[in-house]
Amino acid sequence: MASVRFTVTPTKAEDIPGLSDTSPDVSSRSSSRVRFGSRESVSRSEPLSEASGAVSTSLGTAGVETPEKSTTAATGAVGDGFHKDLNTYINNSNCVDDDDFYDRNLALFEEEMDTRPKVSSLLNRLANYTNLTQGAKEHEEAESFEGDKRKSTKSPQMGTFMGVYLPCLQNIFGVILFLRLTWVVGNAGVLQALCIVFICCCCTMLTAISMSAIATNGVVPAGGSYFMISRSLGPEFGGAVGLCFYLGTTFAGSMYILGAIEIFLMYIFPDAAIFVAEDENDEAATMLNNMRVYGTCFLALMAIVVFVGVKYVNKLASLFLACVVISILSIYAGALKSAFAPPHFPVCMLGNHTLSRHKWYACNKTIQNNETITTTLLWQEFCASDQLNATCSDYFTQNELTEIQGIPGLASSIILENLWSSYLTKGDILQKTSLPTVSVSEAPSNLHPYVFADLTTSFTLLVGIFFPSVTGIMAGSNRSGDLKDAQKSIPTGTILAILTTSLVYLSNVVLFGSCIEGVVLRDKFGDSVQGNLVVGILSWPSPWVIVIGSFFSTCGAGLQSLTGAPRLLQAIAKDQIIPFLRVFGHGKSNGEPTWALLLTAGIAELGILIASLDLVAPILSMFFLMCYLFVNLACAVQTLLRTPNWRPRFRYYHWTLSFLGMTICLALMFISSWYYALVAMLIAVMIYKYIEYHGAEKEWGDGIRGLSLSAARYALLRLEEGPLHTKNWRPQVLVLLKLDEDLHVKYPRLLTFASQLKAGKGLTIVGSVITGNFLECYGEAFAAEQTLKHLMEKERVKGFCQLVVAMKAREGISHLIQSCGLGGMKHNTVVMGWPQGWRQSEDPHAWKTFINTVRVTTTAHLALLVPKNISLFPANSEHFSEGNIDVWWIVHDGGMLMLLPFLLRQHKVWKKCKMRIFTVAQMEDNSIQMKKDLATFLYHLRMEAEVEVVEMHDSDISAYTYERTLMMEQRSQMLRQMRLSKSDRDKEAQLVKDRNSMLRLTSIGSDDDDETDTGAATGSERTDRVHMTWTKDKYLASVRAARGHGAATFEGLRDILSMRPDQSNVRRMHTAVKLNEVIVNKSHDARLVLLNMPGPPRNTDGDENYMEFLEVLTEGLERVLLVRGGGSEVITIYS
């Protein structure tokens, strides 16, 4: 039994025998192909020859040889065997012999092995999968293997703790915890603060659940939330939300830098301020200017660090995280210590008003020293001089100074006072209501050392300021490419990090409310405790632990934001879904996003110029909330659609949780700041629409596409429930385009006219037919379909493309008319071109196909539009400033003639044209009454048009009409004789050709009606004959028959000269001539003439005469639209 051996050699696609340039496999796939060469041996048990051994050896060592050497060895061994390129699905590096590519049990599938690999090969390919690095091309577009040149990549080894948990902790804990959480607790109270923290943590927890479901639904290359959203909801949503997430990350960098500057200038080195206020009222503005200058310097320094190398940022990440952990632990240690030994930070109170303690320390009005009473610095703040008889503030005079402990300790009952909210208005003095006070009429002055509220607070404001402290949950998914088991680590690490941070935040709210005095909590900058950081005075062993730790942690978070944001922008730019961002996809040779870093620094500078942490925080809250909203939406959509590919390994999700998370995100957006929310949504909508209209088309298998399919299915089923009402009728157009030999559209202006008619509304299907065998013409058909799609895009036609391969054009057109569309979304109107030059053509195939199409549309009850002289129709760039659209309403066939001008005038090309309607009155008609009735009808149709009734009197048939008819019939008869003669000549040529062959087998089965009817087929095209053995008798008989038929032809010519025209044809010609005279007289200067199209004759012998009648009817008119209704009413006067 013969055995088959196969050789594998890497070659180029163009070197493969049998592959043409038009092959669809070459055009649509990678150039890597698999070809099989076979060679029979003498017997099955015969040992391998030396040549066979050479082949096996060359294949077995492919991993160490160069491709050139392997090719030479394999080719030399096989001789003339086929070359075969390596397939991307098959890993041949471990091959022992060439049986790895072929199995006797799979011989049935060997010809498809290049597109449908063996399961073993596929599994081997998947086993070698490696995640891509962030910013690289997508995994589905980057699977290019260059034989043995593949580089071995280091497999990811990071686990849940180091790869997800710690990065999430570092990104979640931030500046808000150290600078604003105490202030949130003091204003909102413990209960409302717990509510704020709980709502924000619930939002991130529900988002993390949805994110875990998406992240575990298959392998997720590094790309974070942008990758998940774009691949789940499509490029439009992905691009919009990706840019919002990028802006949020960039503004987060601004917030962290502002936080670091606030710590530096207020708590570490206050004397470093460049601008010093000369007046108490200018302190706030001066501080903002200092923040802007130092913030810009810090931003430039951090951008340089990121530009020089991200590796330095990654190395410092552990140090920054250690600072955060140590700072948090010091808070817990200080809270526990305060239970038995609270730190001494007294707060000076004047009555119940809190005093700032920056410039003085003694909380007394006077000091008695050796029977001498002297005034204190505090006295000088409220009095005109330091004398005891000086004029002082009434409130200072009538109220006593007291000192209270700023940190009463955990064992005190201060939490009872801090349970409830104490919201303040900007300019209010911080007060402790439980202390006695004497009210006075004078208003407090900024000149006095009170502690004032710098911001009007509310629950909604505090939500917006606190929310950034719970963001950062995407840090684990961003590192999915570095994880050993991303589908296990991302859910576990992210959820554990959220639980940890939530517990820390909730416990800190309780600890702050239990240990710190309320007025100190509401003191944002620690003025009442000598300018110390409020959370720092609680910490142990020293406030400097918190100050230094928070400073470095905010700097590290800022560096992380400036590192991540440019890479996110680079990933979006490399997807090429937003054209104007493509430049930011480039970077340094090592892939670092240089241009994206510059843009990120520029946007971050805008946040720096705001210079207020409390104003920047709500901005980035909006962007993060929008991102989280769409993560939840993506999970909910995928779950509800139940797409076959939606199989997450993370099982603890439900669409109700996703919708709840989405609702919380939306509510938090408007709770925080309704105007910021509207601006963020407006930005997202603008980006979405930009990508939709100008972005690159991407197919990522997203959920929105699945949602569209479900909605389309539902809508199509609804359309099938009942017949379409006349009021809802609109032309659903099938445009039949003709292609030339080079597969170019012969009359592209036909599609232009269809676009003007539709104006972007309704269904448009562009169809064409290629003659031939589908198995042989697939590549040609694919190229033609692409040509049609490019033309549709150029003409801005929104619709579908349908191309049919058929043995005959008329059959293909019939198939298109019958089968295009789906359910209720089927075409009801056919637009086709007029067969130009049909009289001069010896081949009647074109006009016979035209008439056959008219018959098919009539049978299918479809409307038909035939623009004549289509090349003279206007392009979309041409605008008629004046002119008329004339409608010649000869017969009523559903109102198409009325509706079409109205639709055309919706387009800018025809908008300024006026509509005129002409109808024909016979002798027995009352033309005056007809005009009134027609005007009334148009009034009820809500259409404006001039009305005119043209009277056509009975007249005798003119000699011109008679002669025209006679010439038409003589021409038709002569052409028939000429075609018969041509057919005889073809038969003789075929006989001579057959004489030189002994036997020829051809296929039988093609229809011969076109061949006998039109005589268009040449000898090489006639495939319906069976040629038998040649004999001399058959040849002589064929010659005699041909000569006899030639004599009959000459007799036919004599009959032509003596023939008389048929009377029915004379009558039809008379109608065409008379109507043409009237139409040319009235509408010779019209921009467009719409005319009822007569139906074709029932007897096919009169087809050529029918074409002549249409030609006469439209002579002398520049642009004509022949209209034939589908038999149903398309317009109504009723509402």
DSSP 472: -
Pairing verdict, β 353-354 and 346-350? antiparallel
State residue 120's pLDDT score. 52
CA distance 430 to 879: 71
Residue 272 DSSP SS3: helix
Across the beta sheet with 346-350, the strand order is 353-354, 346-350, 401-405
- Distant-in-sequence contacts of 458-461, Cβ < 8 A, 24+ apart: 458/423, 459/188, 459/192, 459/196, 459/421, 459/423, 459/671, 460/671, 460/672, 460/673, 461/618, 461/672
CA distance 204 to 798: 41
State residue 84's pLDDT score. 37
Residue 607 DSSP SS3: helix
Burial 65-93 (b: 16+ CB within 10 A, else e): bebeebbebbbebbeebbbbbbbbbbbbe
Place of tokens 């919201």: 423
State residue 207's pLDDT score. 94
In terms of pTM, does the model score above 0.85?
Answer: no
Q: Which amino acid is at 638?
A: Q
State residue 259's pLDDT score. 93
State residue 1019's pLDDT score. 38
| C-alpha closest to that of 568 among 831, 223, 1056, 841 | 223
Strands (E) across 848-982 are located at 863-868, 884-889, 914-921, 946-951
Burial 873-905 (b: 16+ CB within 10 A, else e): bbeeeeebeeebbbbbbbeebbbbbbbbbbbbb
Give the count of beta carbons closer than 10 Å to the beta carbon of residue 1107: 22
State residue 175's pLDDT score. 86
Residues in the chain with pLDDT values less than 70: 1-157, 219-225, 229, 280-281, 360-361, 478-482, 643-644, 695-708, 721-723, 725, 727-728, 759-761, 840-844, 953-966, 969-1063, 1102, 1134-1135
State residue 1051's pLDDT score. 55
Category of 427 on φ-ψ map: left (φ > 0), alpha (ψ -120 to 50) or beta: left
State residue 916's pLDDT score. 92
Q: What is the 3-state secondary structure (H, E, C) of 803-826?
A: EEEECCHHHHHHHHHHHCCECCEC
Residue 43 DSSP SS3: coil
Do 645 and 217 meet the contact criterion of CB atoms below 8 Å apart?
yes
Tokens of 429: 């003095």
pLDDT tens-digit map of 1030-1061: 455 555 555 555 555 555 555 555 555 556 66
| C-alpha closest to that of 705 among 634, 647, 627 | 634
Give the count of beta carbons closer than 10 Å to the beta carbon of residue 40: 9
Do 429 and 395 meet the contact criterion of CB atoms below 8 Å apart?
no
CA distance 521 to 193: 12
State residue 241's pLDDT score. 78
DSSP 800: E
Tokens of 582: 């493509």
- Phi/psi for 30 (5° steps) reads -65, 160
State residue 38's pLDDT score. 37
Q: What is the CA radius of gyration of the chain?
A: 43
* Cα angle: 879, vertex 882, 888; to 5 degrees: 105
State residue 44's pLDDT score. 38
Place of tokens 């930070």: 345
